[in-house]
Structure 1
């Protein structure tokens, strides 16, 4: 969406008013913040102003603030707020933060952000929100694939988009992407000893204190020291719409045991806590394919599939459980129709869409250039009566029917679910990425990634909300990466 002609005229009028004020005052403008906080729209009486524009006298120093021109300050403020609300996306608004202190003050106000998000909601559906697929292969290699809206959003920030500069703002390399939630990433550095949370769009990050080692929870004579194998990122909204409580979760599995070592970082305390958690069922192995190490956050809990080629179920853990002492996890059975013995790397995909757990199975091909796909959705989760509902069943569908043309020896793999549209999945074939709508059977190619990555990779779906999630500030964070 572009600024309308009226908006441009408003902007020009505002600029002229500000220049007139500078000329009359012989200098720039300063803030007068001795008024009460106002709403974004302000009021005509000037009783509850956030600020006012006050002429600054360069030669005379005075501790007294002169009385502002109420008409000029109110008019300039209202015009600016109106223009800012008409900006096409959050990145355009964020770029305006650096123009002046006044603009920064207005745009950073929580009332303006709330109004901006509300307007974006009214103009755009949730299914049209920008997204980025971050494809991780091997350990430290990663490659972003952008949707059309995401590409536009990022290009307002970066002059060119590439895998080399997507996370170039992080101060240490190499690093591995471990988990994601919405538009935030959990990244590990220096052999998993340091972790940070970052927002690739705003290019902001915060380092976490070093976590304890899993061996710290074991006796000194333990035969084998486990490592953190799975990683989760979760958050919980608070009464303040702009604030959240965060959890970073590191999971290690004890060999020949039904116990986990789960280390949790809390945003409220800024500290790590370690727990030994018992599984309600026997565990198969602490190993797993790259795809199954992906931990999914939904319904306030972290979920991961347990097993390698023989899968048993889904383990769920509540990182926001405030009970003291021991923690617990629980099992979710898999769909009855899902085969228990399969090659997970190619046939199973586990994820979520808008808080709903999804799992897909790509069945064997009945003929060349064809595929079979089943997608289940977990329902009645909150009522402790969870059941899997077969949402989509595509049987022996030819590639041509969905508008994809690939060679006979290539097979599709479902690598993820659209973060805001439960009827859309992401497919990979060779090194190509497709978006497939399971209702309309329409597909489109959205990107490519390096050929050498086509066998071993995991996909982290990032969805960019109408206003970027602020990188959290923790009470005891140490700047260990600077």
Structure 2
């Protein structure tokens, strides 16, 4: 039987059977299959396939633990390469091989923002690309006569309007922007709890999440999930992106819950949507984890897997890192990371990049 006949026979299979075959192939072989024909490219590129492929073929502890300071680790998620030695992905870099020798204060689209002093006031900021290892200094902003910048506020004050100094990288200049919040907003005490997602900026507050769109025109707040103590979710929880959606999680005593942000159409006003949290996972940690970890007041959610929404990392400084597959209720300890902290930022590399194929 020649190759064309074999391809014709396999294409007679329905999509679900063909996808099951792809699930059982190695990562490199699956990538090559994207170039066979348009149908295969489409099947392998859909979000459902990407999520399921990672769920079935990734080991739980596939993250690389990279030092960004002598006592702080960062979760790094490379594309899966099942043909390589899996043991190589378990050893962290040493503190003298830190990724960034500075204070990381932000991450987006593969780039890190860091500074060389906590009181820089806009001076001493750098953008670092870990792939090219290129570091770019951001010119300091000039002093404005308007109100003081965001980082000089009292974080316990409820604000209905405030000013922000924003650097626009595409034109290389700073601009001062006044942001308004109708309901009022109080920033969370932890200065790192914020992220960029689909062009918007999200900040955790003492009672809600504050959102600013990428044009800095629209801003609004999203209440935390119902039946959740807001300060508890700030202390032990995590706001992040997983599987292309925004998720939030918290630990209340031994009860661990994960919510996903969804849009629901208004019943009375069609085509008008409101945002709410949908509970997607709930479990009791005492049935899966050691008593010592559960009794630790400082245990918290360390991060989400960027591609598989069912995988979550848990952490405490004394006990180290645990990883959980909430779909299968499988929990594992990742040894060797005790007495270290975990950065709230995660380095995410593309999974199965959508490389254009030939017109065959």
Fold-level match, TM-score > 0.5? yes
1:212 aligns with 2:141: yes
Contact 2:74 2:345 in 1 (8 A): no
Q: Deviations over 1:335-389 (max 9, x none)?
A: 122224537322x22212133111112122xxxxxx2111111111796321211
Contact 2:76 2:348 in 1 (8 A): no
Q: In the aligned structure 2, how far is the partner of 1:376 from the partner of 1:339?
A: 14
Match of 1:78 in 2: none
Q: In the aligned structure 1, how far is the partner of 2:139 from the partner of 2:347?
A: 25
Contact 1:252 1:261 in 2 (8 A): no
Q: Residue 184 of structure 2 aligns to a residue in which SS?
A: coil
Q: Deviations over 1:188-219 (max 9, x none)?
A: 2245322222232x242241432426x62526
Contact 1:209 1:271 in 2 (8 A): no
Q: Residue 235 of structure 2 aligns to a residue in which SS?
A: helix
TM-score, with normalisation over the residues of structure 2? 0.66
Match of 1:267 in 2: 169
Q: Deviations over 1:9-63 (max 9, x none)?
A: xxxxxxxxxxxxxxxxxxxxxxxxxxxxxxxxxxxxxxxxxxxxxxxxxxxxxxx
Question: Which gives a bigger RCO, structure 1 or 2 (Cα 8 Å, sep 6+)?
Answer: 2
Report which of the two has the higher share of strand: 2
Match of 1:316 in 2: 211
Q: In the aligned structure 1, how far is the partner of 2:209 from the partner of 2:202?
A: 6
Match of 1:199 in 2: 129
- Please report how far the alpha carbon of residue 433 of structure 1 lies from its aligned counterpart in structure 2 after TM superposition: 0.9
1:424 aligns with 2:298: no
Question: What stretches of structure 2 of length at least 5 have no aligned partner?
Answer: 1-25, 30-34, 36-40, 266-271, 354-360
Q: Residue 96 of structure 2 aligns to a residue in which SS?
A: coil
Structure showing greater radius of gyration is: 1
Question: Could you say if the C-alpha distance between residues 404 and 121 of structure 1 is closer, same or farther in structure 2, counting changes exceeding 3 Å?
Answer: farther
Contact 1:254 1:261 in 2 (8 A): no
2:151 to 222, 228, 237: 228
RMSD: 4.3
Aligned residues: 296
TM-score, with normalisation over the residues of structure 1? 0.51
- Please report how far the alpha carbon of residue 390 of structure 1 lies from its aligned counterpart in structure 2 after TM superposition: 0.8
Alignment of 1:319-334 (within 5 A): 319-321=214-216, 327-334=217-224
Question: Could you say if the C-alpha distance between residues 375 and 176 of structure 1 is closer, same or farther in structure 2, counting changes exceeding 3 Å?
Answer: same
Q: Residue 386 of structure 1 aligns to a residue in which SS?
A: strand
Alignment of 1:90-169 (within 5 A): 125-126=53-54, 131-132=63-64, 142-145=72-75, 161-167=93-99
Question: Could you say if the C-alpha distance between residues 329 and 252 of structure 1 is closer, same or farther in structure 2, counting changes exceeding 3 Å?
Answer: farther
Q: Deviations over 1:243-290 (max 9, x none)?
A: xxxxxxxx9979674223223333332222221112222233x56125
Question: Could you say if the C-alpha distance between residues 280 and 397 of structure 1 is closer, same or farther in structure 2, counting changes exceeding 3 Å?
Answer: same
